Structure 1
């Protein structure tokens, strides 16, 4: 009876509500039948029938919604009356929230691929919404190729001593492993991620790295708590406990996989500008900020940039985007081919007097290194490459390190403490993390910490190492997304993603504090479009479905990424919450300095001009996501380099001040983060740091 408290287990209640004819009728008005199936037959019914614990968040709301609909005999009403009933629910605080939950489930079931539909993976028309909008995960005729994972060393066979233990297999750690192994040093790389295949890291629109609406397959999993502390709209502080099996955006977007973030990135491979290495000298230091110059300049890093491009494998072209970053070598591969979005924005830039170019990408534009060229799939960013054309630590530096015979890799293992001393170092490693964990102690001449800006700082702080600068100066980038509508569709859903850029507003005076790069906004997945279609699009019903089919192709935008000025109060410290090993989690305080807001506003204004010059209508800034988490995927600065321990956490070669045998080798070292993606700089700096370590081995 309506209003009675539901009884039974959650699974029993879920089955009951899913079988209720009122729910099916509501789903078929949210996604009504036309030339394409209605929601229930088009995938939502199967999705709800498969529903498990992940969807339990919606159970109580669906039960309330069904009870309300039953009271009006919704299932028996004509379609127009059903639409009126659902419309009346909108705007009423309780019912509207329940309706919003139903809408979300409908979009997930009708417009998203998912692991539970693996038995229909050969059907490009499932669920129906994907076929309706013309989405294909892979171009026709392309067969995925599974890249093998490395032969991981069983935990029981770990040695008692290695010359070096490298914590993390991302770009910094992988470069260190390759450099040390080639110099004849024995190396153990410890990676806490499970041994996930490329197939397990792609094609799932509900659990991917960037688009996860549920637990990300690239997340660390449960019992890795963090306290995220951010400023609310009123200027106060809001503290939120997040875990590694929850909201990936709130937790932080760094990928936990063999190869780190480069396993799932799009591959934008930029050099920092000369001014990026001297931000404090160039712009001064506004009150409340902690801008600092690097202890080295562009000229010192340039040879390593050239090596990084060659060894990683970057496709690019010399021209407008390289004019202010002098180079000793050209790119090893030509730039990716053009597309309509590049032509449209290049023409608009020309009318504005701006210059543009093809974005440099660490992706094979032609067959290279025994691997094929990019097939331009529709799920590049945040997903593993289906043909292994995307270049990263996993298929470049780490295989070369293993090929020396001097490197071992242990997966599903986590370093929980680092011990340092003049006579030697050691790490405590928890092996077999996803099964029966066993704690082991491994000794080393040196420990290279490359777990990312958050986890490197957390590990070293929890180990009692470092000075007062360790963990401070946490910052990322500022991001702006602008969207409008164009007459002719220019983003056809093919990858790899961003295609064209202008660097005319980087250190050019048009945007304060160093400005930022402007690029085309990549195509988004159908689920993202359905969930956030933009202003003027009906929330649900025939109009929403028609927009997905006819209006969505005309949506187009520009994305800005710019300098984030580090703040005095932004830092990684130790939280009072403990992880599954009894070690303190990270407390992330992220403050946005007013100077960073100026960068954001400048990018928004110029991005709007660019889109309008391209003929876009209704240009608007998308809100939210600019600082969606306290630790973004470009986080840096928590172990920044300095020639003086009074101003940094490490020396210019990554050696932790106050320690004998600990070297940091990741984005933590960056005093500032430039206005472009930092990965190529991580690689170049890691080559420099690791070479110095070989030459100045601790004795």
Structure 2
């Protein structure tokens, strides 16, 4: 491959020529003190990985960095020096300050970004000096990470031609369906489009974890899965290889998002099931009541908490959600932020309590208790204490001998029929693809709000409601300065909450929950320092070492008002199989913005009561994301085909044997994390499916 060799040699030469200037500049962005300067502290290793042809992360940065290095050397020579590295540090700082606000500002921003990534982020087995400097330890000292026993999978050549059920997607909805159907004696094929990854491959990477992904998320989906984000400024094609915030935050892995979540396991409020009745439907919105009530779902909530494994506490956060049983595990232990905000809530007269988490607070079902690692969200658990579909529902289904788990396989078409349904699968998708045709009594589509809608639309199934009403939650962050550090690098993340502004007079349209802000990864803090902190240099490094620990805040999450114009449709771009990708349009209703704004007001009150100073709302009003990790509504349940995409038990209107079983069923999404509701509703849907099995 002479052309490739020549390209690599040329690229290597250009990079090598730029390194002296870049090293000098990086060492001014992160200067030496008691801790190493940037280059020796990790940025050098980050930038000089070999071979360069494999360094796909930084392909975007090198043209900017090479151009910046050339300009620095040119200006230094005009000033009489041999090159930029030959200048004294005062002159280097002055030149960088000029460039940072001039025509090369974007190149300087690229330099800062790669400096932060190299010094403050763990990835590819690197542990740079910045992590030790700020006291970050991903896995607590003395804890040896384990590798759980891998789930038994089926080879593509061993897939049967017919199953009682084919389940598309292995997240919480699909996992529950697999457990329920196999327990009833049904033979199930559980299809997951992502390859099977070991836990070690999905842990400790601050650049590729889904929640904080900067490059090529470890939990996919990877190239060949394009989407079109329909933005106010125009359409933009995005693939699953970069920043997850625009593409969509749902994880592609066995277990779906529950493999890498923090595990907030809330029940919706009774009022959440009758939003239209309580608040009406303003112009432009599509608020709807659920076809079931809280009382209908309550037994399934209890079943979900015990089948999943939730650690919680009855009290201030459960008084408005009647319960038929307590939590299976005690709440996670306290931490300084809980004590501080709990006392402030008492002064305000607010109810509060520890957040219910689907994480083992004590050893549970043969797996260890949480070790409070500092990187829970977006990573697999080092001791397998995180409860998700991959550690609960799917293993139980496989243990029956009736569930074939087929990873690295994508369902590209679903068929419905009077006597049988079926799917077309591209198996061994990342290696040597083979097409499989499988028939089934029923197909359960549990691929998430975006992919469930895309698959149904691409298969020609359902009515005009399929894909519509795409919504998530509204989010706001309020930050300030704490006199003493109250959020150390201790997991699992969010710890304390108040529900006093959910369906209350303080916030309209159902309001939302307010929680303490999780501990931020060092890389996040480096890129978003407090106001007044220098953007680089010794002042920034000093703030990272000391001032960062006093950054503290709260996070509000509230109702997002669904709109029929917010939707998933089929795009012109094609995926790796030649099928249409998803086009995502997300509009923001004015009522949603009201929820977000008032969450910020109440969050500020809480921080003020806690003695936090310099309180500010981060970033101002948020804009719509194309598809968040809580996306729902695209196959909403309802009482008729006139008002919904599916019947009250997930059967797609107009079909006999196709059932949706995930967040796409939610007509509205409550004001808390929806996963426990996905699980509870999946139990309800799957049990009804068993009772009313199509013949």
Same fold (TM over 0.5): yes
Residue-by-residue CA offset, 1:606-641 (whole Å, 9 max, x unaligned): 101111111111111112794563110000000000
Partner residue, 1:17: 15
Matches for 1:326-405 after TM superposition, within 5 Å: 326-405=322-401
Matches for 1:169-184 after TM superposition, within 5 Å: 169-184=170-185
**Aligned to 1:562, what secondary structure does the other structure show?**
strand
Contact residue 228 and residue 629 of structure 1 kept, 8 A: no
- Displacement, 1:238? 2.7
**Aligned to 1:276, what secondary structure does the other structure show?**
helix
2:569 matches 1:566: no
Matches for 1:68-79 after TM superposition, within 5 Å: 68-71=71-74, 72=76, 73-79=83-89
2:121 matches 1:104: no
**Aligned to 1:514, what secondary structure does the other structure show?**
strand
Give the unaligned 5+ runs of structure 1: 1-6, 118-125, 232-236
Q: Distance in 2 between matches of 1:251 and 1:341?
A: 32
Pick closer, same or farther for the CA change 1:18–1:323 going to 2, 3 Å.
farther
Q: Distance in 2 between matches of 1:210 and 1:260?
A: 13
Pick closer, same or farther for the CA change 1:348–1:111 going to 2, 3 Å.
same
Q: Distance in 1 between matches of 2:106 and 2:377?
A: 31
Pick closer, same or farther for the CA change 1:288–1:79 going to 2, 3 Å.
same
Partner residue, 2:286: 290
Q: Distance in 2 between matches of 1:584 and 1:246?
A: 20
Contact residue 219 and residue 248 of structure 1 kept, 8 A: no
**Aligned to 1:53, what secondary structure does the other structure show?**
coil
Contact residue 230 and residue 591 of structure 1 kept, 8 A: no
**Aligned to 1:289, what secondary structure does the other structure show?**
coil
- Displacement, 1:105? 0.7
Q: Distance in 1 between matches of 2:375 and 2:225?
A: 28
Q: Distance in 2 between matches of 1:238 and 1:253?
A: 21
Q: Distance in 1 between matches of 2:221 and 2:23?
A: 36
2:430 matches 1:434: yes
- Displacement, 1:13? 2.9
2:526 matches 1:524: no
Q: Distance in 2 between matches of 1:493 and 1:116?
A: 20
Contact residue 17 and residue 23 of structure 1 kept, 8 A: no
**Aligned to 1:393, what secondary structure does the other structure show?**
coil
Contact residue 227 and residue 581 of structure 2 kept, 8 A: yes
- Displacement, 1:336? 0.3
Residue-by-residue CA offset, 1:142-185 (whole Å, 9 max, x unaligned): 00011122111000000000000000000000100100000000
Pick closer, same or farther for the CA change 1:618–1:632 going to 2, 3 Å.
same
Matches for 1:544-555 after TM superposition, within 5 Å: 544-555=540-551
| Greater alpha carbon shift after TM alignment, 67-76 vs 162-171 | 67-76
- Displacement, 1:21? 1.6
Contact residue 473 and residue 671 of structure 2 kept, 8 A: yes
Partner residue, 1:41: 40
Aligned match of 1:248 in 236, 240, 244? 244
Matches for 1:89-488 after TM superposition, within 5 Å: 89-92=99-102, 94-115=103-124, 117=126, 126-231=127-232, 237-488=233-484
Q: Distance in 2 between matches of 1:11 and 1:676?
A: 53
- Displacement, 1:53? 2.7
- Displacement, 1:672? 0.3
Contact residue 636 and residue 665 of structure 2 kept, 8 A: yes
Pick closer, same or farther for the CA change 1:626–1:258 going to 2, 3 Å.
farther
Partner residue, 1:120: none
- Displacement, 1:18? 4.4
Aligned match of 2:56 in 53, 77, 90? 53
Pick closer, same or farther for the CA change 1:623–1:323 going to 2, 3 Å.
same
Q: What is the CA RMSD across the aligned residues, in angstroms?
A: 1.3
Partner residue, 1:3: none
Contact residue 467 and residue 568 of structure 2 kept, 8 A: yes
Q: Distance in 1 between matches of 2:527 and 2:667?
A: 37
**Aligned to 1:395, what secondary structure does the other structure show?**
coil
| Greater alpha carbon shift after TM alignment, 427-436 vs 76-85 | 76-85
Partner residue, 2:67: 64
Aligned match of 1:598 in 576, 594, 598? 594
Q: Distance in 2 between matches of 1:61 and 1:11?
A: 19
Contact residue 10 and residue 56 of structure 1 kept, 8 A: no
Contact residue 473 and residue 630 of structure 2 kept, 8 A: yes
Give the structure-1-normalised TM-score: 0.96
Contact residue 363 and residue 390 of structure 1 kept, 8 A: yes
**Aligned to 2:228, what secondary structure does the other structure show?**
strand
Contact residue 18 and residue 49 of structure 1 kept, 8 A: no
Q: Distance in 1 between matches of 2:327 and 2:20?
A: 61
| Greater alpha carbon shift after TM alignment, 510-519 vs 621-630 | 621-630
Contact residue 502 and residue 511 of structure 2 kept, 8 A: yes
**Aligned to 2:61, what secondary structure does the other structure show?**
helix
Q: Distance in 2 between matches of 1:499 and 1:608?
A: 18
Partner residue, 1:122: none
**Aligned to 1:378, what secondary structure does the other structure show?**
coil
Pick closer, same or farther for the CA change 1:320–1:535 going to 2, 3 Å.
same
Give the structure-2-normalised TM-score: 0.96
Partner residue, 1:121: none
Q: Distance in 1 between matches of 2:231 and 2:665?
A: 23
Contact residue 597 and residue 621 of structure 2 kept, 8 A: no
Pick closer, same or farther for the CA change 1:389–1:624 going to 2, 3 Å.
farther
Q: Distance in 2 between matches of 1:14 and 1:85?
A: 26
Q: Distance in 1 between matches of 2:152 and 2:13?
A: 44
Contact residue 17 and residue 66 of structure 1 kept, 8 A: no
- Displacement, 1:61? 1.4
- Displacement, 1:16? 3.7
Aligned length in residues: 679
Q: Distance in 1 between matches of 2:641 and 2:151?
A: 39
Contact residue 646 and residue 652 of structure 2 kept, 8 A: yes
Pick closer, same or farther for the CA change 1:531–1:11 going to 2, 3 Å.
farther
**Aligned to 1:194, what secondary structure does the other structure show?**
coil
- Displacement, 1:10? 5.4
Contact residue 498 and residue 520 of structure 1 kept, 8 A: yes
Q: Distance in 2 between matches of 1:11 and 1:252?
A: 36
**Aligned to 1:677, what secondary structure does the other structure show?**
coil
Q: Distance in 1 between matches of 2:283 and 2:301?
A: 33
